[in-house]
Structure 1
Amino acid sequence: MDYQLLFSTYTAVPAHARWSRQRQLHECLRSAIRSGTLGSGARLPATRTLAHDLGVSRNTVLYAYDQLATEGFVLPDRRGTVVAGAAARTALPAPAATPLRVGLSRRALAVPTRDAPETPAAFAPGVPALKEFPATLWRRLLDRAWKSLRTEQLNYAPHTGEPALREAIANHLRVARGARLDASQVFITDGTQNSLDLCAQAFADAGDKVWIESPGYLGALAAFKAAQLRPVGIVVDGEGMAPTAADWQRHPPKLIYVTPSHQYPTGSVLSLQRRLDLIANARAAQALIIEDDYDSEFRHDGPPLSCMQGLEVDAPVLYLGTFSKTMFPALRLGFVVVPAALVEPLSALLARTAPRGRAADQLALAEFMQSGQFSLHLRRMRRLYRQRRDALVAALEQQLGDVADVYGGSAGMHLALRLRNPQADDAAMSKQLLSMGVVAPALSPQAVGQRVQPWRGFLLGYAQVPVERMPELVGQLAKVVKS
């Protein structure tokens, strides 16, 4: 509480200016207590401290405190003076305020919202097995990182990110994802959503067209609409995004957003031929591909697939990665890998607009990766997620195999359950399931544009759901679907 500001504001009122300093202070404190500004249990400053801060005599403060105590507003104790609990019951009614007539902009209101709460409840998508994360080891790494920080590292961090983390990410991507890069091409962000905002603002202008898969990731759609881009939904089938020749002619894009390793939300994998075609056509159209390598670390069936960024030298690809799924969401660290030609202009832009911090988190993560613990953690999670995937698929086939089909279970942390009835009201079912404590986002609201028949069904995240609970939870889902 800034008592000097409180007192000066109160005494500036003309009706109070004629009062003595003793009365002014007493009435000011009493008004603050009755209005709730000083709540029950709040400790008032020592008399000498308050007198010094306000520029009044200590006797003035003693008088105000004694008067408040006599009236029952404060209670003295061995440590000073506190606001009495009974004082809250004398609070003055708040004066009527003129209704605020401003609100969000039309642009903000047009940003789509996600239809599932961010909660660890089954089957919330994008939530890893948080109980399995090596939290004790992570605390040790954080403690070591804080102890190693130099004084200058408490200032804003490098706008591109800590060099040690950029190097660790580059090393990991070359080995694990087949990427072609050096550390200078890696830019640290606050996660995928921040990366999407950056790409939309830095590499396109208002009114430019951006392709997005349909059904697709609503977080990407929100970033593009917030940047005033014009989203164009491109149909997704069993081999991923499927643009036609007419799409390239009628809706030439500036940006192309794709989740090739495990499409969100259908789970399909973009075939090699389509990856190569997309890169070739993007080059010809002078467009950039935003490759969101969603769930790429968790491949359950077959060998790992290389990222699009590494398929060709200097591919026109902005490669996005995050540690929210491989580590934990609250870490809020991700990265963008840009083509070599864009390193200098993007670095210059971020130097003007994006001072950064959190050096300790970045250094701890760099050590986690360089020590081999990150790879070890990924191997453990792959085994666990494969077991949970298998249990979910078995339960779905047993209880819903006659009315729905499973898509996208070969990788990642989620799969899609597509209902065979094209008229099914999956949105209404999703709301009913949510009231039962089951998070199963509907697929139909995730369609982009009106050109494509929406998928009807549910997005089911399984990473955080124990194997033994799958039959029971799928039973609740089946009960709603078949009712």
Structure 2
Amino acid sequence: MFRRSQLESVKAWIANPAHAAMPLHARIQRAVRQLIVDGALGPGKPLPASRALAASLGVSRDTIETAYAQLHAEGFIDRRVGSGSFVAEISEFTPGRRRSRRDTLPSDPAPALSRRGAAVFEGGGVREMPVPRPFAHGVPETRTFPLALWERLERQVRKEVGAQSLFHGDPQGTEPLRRAIADYVNLERGARATADRVLVLTSSQQAMSLCATLLFDPGDGIFLEDPAYYGARKAFEAAGLDCVPIRVDRQGIVVDHILAEPQRAKAVFLTPSHQFPTGATLALDRRLALIEWAARHRAWIIEDDYDSEFRYAGKPTACVQGLDPHGRTIYIGTFTKSLFPGLRIGYAVLPPSLVKPMTVARTLLDGHTAPMAQLTLARFMEGGHFGAHVRTMRGVYAERLDALAGLVRRHLSDFVEPQVPIGGLQMPCLLTGDLTERAAVDAARRAGIELLGLSALHAAGDGKAGFLMGFAAYTPFEIETAVRKLETAFRAATKP
């Protein structure tokens, strides 16, 4: 018979609400199995007779018999006709087996990660808020997205394609979407793209990780804008690359520093259309200089064109990839900012020589992007709905940027100076008073407001203190409410 503590353990397992979905016999079987695995029931120990255990637990004998039969099938107990049921002689290496003091295994609370694994973990990853709050950056407006239209297009695709959309998809991406992407970047961004050079991915972050692991060896150098997008730096550092920070000014990355040491790195990572986080646009002469540098030294230009759809002043400049006749530029784009984050579709326009290697490497990560979403997006773009949506949101975002800039000047002028951008989904603000960046971010968080500090984006550690304020996902009323909360929070944080 079980000791009282063992019987109570089984009863507790049965009564646990977390196990309520299991049949009763399965709960009893799991509870007894756990006693064996933990070493509470040692090898050769007899189990209670099925009738006796049924009476103790208030269940039918058949329930106990079913539980014992499963334990026997799994090798945890032996059943001997006329003698009863006994704990099987399981290997001495059973996880919960009781050991003598001399036989105790050393404790190892920390996982034994590889150097790359430790770098990934210590980097903290890239996490987004499930439900954004002001002023989380890089978040588009989703409440006004034409969801009914999207659902109608999805039904059309499902009716036409049928069960084919339920199978594995092409790792490179569905041909209709690759064609639509190529047409779009050629027309709107001045790219040199064809459908066979497009690789559909889940995100721009995946594209950067692929570049980091496929094109470079640990220790290789890569030039990085300083300040830079934190997701890019983390991807390259996790791959063991030597990230060489290059200063950014009002005309983008300072190319002279790269040309002074042209062989120090095998690539450069850029956000040339709208530098993150400063908002600077890379000057044409610098673009051409980088293209020449990459061609001369067989280096790569990794161009992240993350939110170029949203420009509020002047005409957009052509992407670097479209200016590069040598095929040394990898162009990365995403629909996370232009449509909605939950879509999880990004892409890369690759030099012909990289299409097959990148596609093969991608199959080791997640196989392919969901075909139904790809085909629906392709139809959304082919029907002109994507362009119409972007034009609508461009006007909405411009209004919200004006509202944010005016409110910051009116209510936060004692603390910050807004750096109004000509595009994008966020506005940088530089601290001008006694409030420190850490104190500002912490005070905002206590008030339920999210700010991204600028200092952490500077590798050299000499950047001006400040923060980013995302504005695209929030109405003028929500922006005003949040700015007033910030004013109160900042004033409280600066009181002596």
TM-score by structure 1 length?
0.78
DSSP-derived class of the 2:408 partner: helix
Cα gap change, 1:137/1:29 in structure 2, threshold over 3 Å: closer, same or farther? Answer: farther
Aligned to 1:209: 221
Cα deviation, 1:194-231, whole Å, max 9, x if unaligned, reads 11111111211111111221111111111111111111
What does 1:219-298 align with in structure 2 at a 5 Å threshold? 219-245=231-257, 248-249=260-261, 252-298=264-310
How much has 1:62 moved relative to structure 2?
Answer: 10
Equivalences, count: 424
Distance in 1 of aligned mates of 2:271 and 2:224: 9
Distance in 2 of aligned mates of 1:29 and 1:369: 62
- 8 Å Cα contact 2:221/2:241 also seen in 1: yes
1:395 paired to 2:403? no
Kindly provide the amino acid, as one letter, of the partner of residue 469 in structure 1. E
Cα gap change, 1:246/1:336 in structure 2, threshold over 3 Å: closer, same or farther? Answer: closer
Aligned to 1:102: 110
Cα deviation, 1:339-366, whole Å, max 9, x if unaligned, reads 1232244345446765225111111111
1:34 paired to 2:10? no
Kindly provide the amino acid, as one letter, of the partner of residue 429 in structure 1. A
Distance in 2 of aligned mates of 1:314 and 1:121: 44
Cα deviation, 1:132-166, whole Å, max 9, x if unaligned, reads 11112222222333333354543321110111110
What does 1:81-480 align with in structure 2 at a 5 Å threshold? 100-103=108-111, 104=113, 105-111=117-123, 117=129, 119-245=131-257, 248-249=260-261, 252-350=264-362, 355-401=367-413, 403-420=415-432, 425-450=436-461, 453-480=462-489
- 8 Å Cα contact 2:252/2:282 also seen in 1: yes
Kindly provide the amino acid, as one letter, of the partner of residue 419 in structure 2. Y
DSSP-derived class of the 2:453 partner: coil
Which range is displaced more, 176-185 or 138-147? 138-147
DSSP-derived class of the 1:304 partner: coil
Distance in 2 of aligned mates of 1:217 and 1:257: 10
Unaligned runs of 5+ in 1: 1-14, 17-26, 51-59, 75-93
How much has 1:477 moved relative to structure 2?
Answer: 2.9
DSSP-derived class of the 2:269 partner: strand
Distance in 2 of aligned mates of 1:156 and 1:326: 27
- 8 Å Cα contact 1:314/1:339 also seen in 2: no
Kindly provide the amino acid, as one letter, of the partner of residue 483 in structure 2. V
DSSP-derived class of the 1:319 partner: strand
- 8 Å Cα contact 1:141/1:364 also seen in 2: yes
Distance in 2 of aligned mates of 1:409 and 1:196: 25
DSSP-derived class of the 2:180 partner: helix
How much has 1:441 moved relative to structure 2?
Answer: 1.0
Cα gap change, 1:315/1:250 in structure 2, threshold over 3 Å: closer, same or farther? Answer: closer
Distance in 1 of aligned mates of 2:381 and 2:437: 41
Cα gap change, 1:408/1:113 in structure 2, threshold over 3 Å: closer, same or farther? Answer: farther
- 8 Å Cα contact 2:246/2:257 also seen in 1: no
How much has 1:402 moved relative to structure 2?
Answer: 5.6
Distance in 1 of aligned mates of 2:129 and 2:272: 25
Cα deviation, 1:246-303, whole Å, max 9, x if unaligned, reads 6641762212111111111111221222222222222222211111102100010111
- 8 Å Cα contact 2:252/2:283 also seen in 1: yes
Q: Percent identity?
A: 31
- 8 Å Cα contact 2:181/2:195 also seen in 1: yes
DSSP-derived class of the 1:201 partner: helix
Distance in 1 of aligned mates of 2:223 and 2:169: 34
DSSP-derived class of the 1:244 partner: helix
- 8 Å Cα contact 1:142/1:360 also seen in 2: yes
Aligned to 1:89: none
Cα gap change, 1:345/1:472 in structure 2, threshold over 3 Å: closer, same or farther? Answer: closer
Distance in 2 of aligned mates of 1:161 and 1:167: 10
Unaligned runs of 5+ in 2: 30-48, 64-95, 99-104
DSSP-derived class of the 1:158 partner: coil
- 8 Å Cα contact 2:454/2:468 also seen in 1: yes
DSSP-derived class of the 1:280 partner: helix
Cα gap change, 1:70/1:337 in structure 2, threshold over 3 Å: closer, same or farther? Answer: closer
- 8 Å Cα contact 1:265/1:416 also seen in 2: yes
- 8 Å Cα contact 1:213/1:448 also seen in 2: no
Kindly provide the amino acid, as one letter, of the partner of residue 293 in structure 2. N
Distance in 2 of aligned mates of 1:329 and 1:42: 34
DSSP-derived class of the 1:149 partner: helix
Distance in 2 of aligned mates of 1:99 and 1:143: 55
- 8 Å Cα contact 2:153/2:380 also seen in 1: yes
How much has 1:38 moved relative to structure 2?
Answer: 7.2
How much has 1:446 moved relative to structure 2?
Answer: 1.2
